[in-house]
Amino acid sequence: MRNHDSRRVSLFLTPVLMLATACGGDFGSGSGAGDFGATPGGVKDMKLARELIARGQIPPAAALLVEGMFAEHDLGLTGAPCNDTLCLRAALGVAPDRDGDDRGWLQIGLSSNVEPDIFQRPATTYIMTVDVSGSMGWGSGSDEYPTPGRLSRQLLHALVDPIEARDQIAIVTYGSNVNTPLPITSGASEGAIRSVIDSLRESGATDMYGGLVRAYQLGRQARADGRQNVRVILFTDVQPNVGPTAPTAFDDLVSAGAADGVHITVVALGLGVGPEVLQSMAKVRGANAYSMQQNDDIPTFMADEYPWFTVPIAYDLAVDVRHSSGLTIDQGYGFPVGFAEQPRLEAATVFLSKRRGALLVSLEEAADGGLDAAYADADLSWVNPSGVERSLTLRAGRDGTALDERGQWFAQEAAARTTALALLVSGMHDAAAAYGGDPALAATIMRAAQDRFAADAASIGAVTLGPEVELGAAMLALIEERAAQGTLYGQ
């Protein structure tokens, strides 16, 4: 994000604080200290990329997203206790970027004071929107090699397990035709709901757009009936081939639904996923997206993500950085964006989560010495679920401690982990993007990213980074072997 003219750059001459904390929420105050999780919406995992690498394929660049990696790790910052639903903290670091150029790294940490053991999720209307096209394999597969259809049925039943009488559920199916085998129904009618799930069968092509149009019609009906929390859950292998199929068409459709208070969760099933369409929906206000390829993914999802993926606590979170003289904004990491869009310092939604999330901004020197006594003020603004606008300013800075032998310093260990993960995934992304045209260049990019991350992981010493060292090494080996690349799209 160089030449970032839309962001304010100014001097702010007040004493440097090493850490700042502030809060603001919509679920009322509690006794928590801001140690429960909160993460941005968007794509919430890297399962597609991980599974492709495990099966000997190089992922497409679109499947390698910093936001997905961040969502899989607990990256919380420490600070003063927080007494509201959304807690925001900041910490600074100094370290070279992937090219070896000195950078400042400002992390915004997201957490919440919600106490999960006593939290009661809002009553929700779920519009289950299910792909029954031929590519989903509803009549095939096994426990060892589950098809997207088989996974869909299992996940539908799992999502019915915790539904209560105060909830509602509808089921829309789309294949060659769009149908509504279950209109909006009370959660108390468990038998009828499960009967419809068990009756789902394969049906031709993939009119995903038409299915979503029907789903949003039902969602708007629920809103008109006074239901406050309405969520479309889209079950799909993201291979639309009837009607509109472009990412922009789904962006427009989902955005219009969000404007009417109907939000979406996309569940991308199997390996034949079109990540461009997935990202176009996942970055919209109130949206998120998850990937599933194995049977074990379903109980893990229910244990780790339910009900938090249905509970937004903030919208339109924007980060505006004012910093010390001699620094300019370089780039943002972990901010959800659609396919081929440029990163912006904005997150459309923040959800409750078991993990504490992160957003990251790199700062570069506009003049020599800019990082020697660096500090940054992050002006944050957002809207809580009641529509009340909130804002605050966090400050983070460097205390004069010398850089280590690798030219690094971080105020908190979490900021070092966050920066290392961002640099690894951005390197993987760039290597994947280069691979089709220049495999040798891709190998050079990936080798540098992997060497840097392995050194970072050894220096930090966090056990959670070990699997990511292995992931990077596996992708580098595939590039050097000139393995196939793709998502198996259409296979």
Residues in the chain: 491
Specify the higher pLDDT residue, 424 or 248. Answer: 424
For residue 330, what pLDDT band results from cuts at 50, 70 and 90?
Answer: very high
2-16, 50-64, 201-215, 387-401: range with lowest mean pLDDT: 2-16
State which amino acid sits at residue 200.
L
- pLDDT tens digit sequence for 154-173: 999 999 999 999 999 999 99
pLDDT tens track for 430-459:
999 999 999 999 999 999 999 999 999 999
User: 138-144 long-range CB contacts below 8 Å, 24 or more apart?
Assistant: 138/200, 138/201, 138/202, 139/201, 139/202, 143/295
Model pLDDT, residue 345: 93
What local confidence, expressed as pLDDT, does residue 328 receive?
87
What's the mean pLDDT when you consider all of the chain? 89
Lowest mean pLDDT among 102-111, 127-136, 138-147, 398-407: 138-147
- Summarised one tens digit per residue, pLDDT across range 202-218 is 888 889 999 999 999 99
Q: Which residue has the higher pLDDT, 144 or 352?
A: 352
- Return the percentage of the chain with pLDDT > 70, whole number: 91
Q: Domains of the chain (ranges plus CATH)? A: 38-117+311-480 (no CATH), 125-310 (3.40.50.410)
Position 285 pLDDT exceeds 80: yes
DSSP state of 421: H
State pLDDT tens for residues 455-478.
999 999 999 999 999 999 999 999
Q: Which of 245-249, 288-292, 357-361 shows the lowest mean pLDDT across its residues?
A: 245-249
What is the structure's pLDDT at 469? 98
| pLDDT at residue 3, as a whole number | 35
User: How buried is residue 304: exposed, middle or buried, by Cβ count under 10 Å (0-12/13-18/19+)?
Assistant: middle
Q: What pLDDT score was predicted for residue 456? A: 98
- pLDDT beyond 90 at 92: yes
The pLDDT of residue 346: 95
Instruction: Name residue 91's beta-bridge partners.
Output: 107
Average pLDDT over residues 86-115: 95
Task: Indicate whether 489 pLDDT > 70.
Answer: no
Q: Which of 50, 51, 489, 472 is nearest to 278 (CA)?
A: 489
> What residues does 236 pair with on adjacent strands?
268
Q: With a cut of 80, say whether residue 141 has pLDDT above it.
A: no
CA dihedral 109, 18, 459, 353 (to 10 degrees): -10
Predicted pLDDT at 374:
76
Binning pLDDT at 50, 70 and 90, where does residue 59 land? very high
- Give me the residues paired with residue 266 across strands: 234, 289
What does the pLDDT look like over 116-136, one tens digit per residue?
999 999 999 999 999 998 888
User: To which residue do tokens 């031929």 refer?
Assistant: 134
Is the pLDDT score of 488 beyond 50?
no
Yes or no: say if 124 and 169 are a contact pair by the CB < 8 Å rule. no
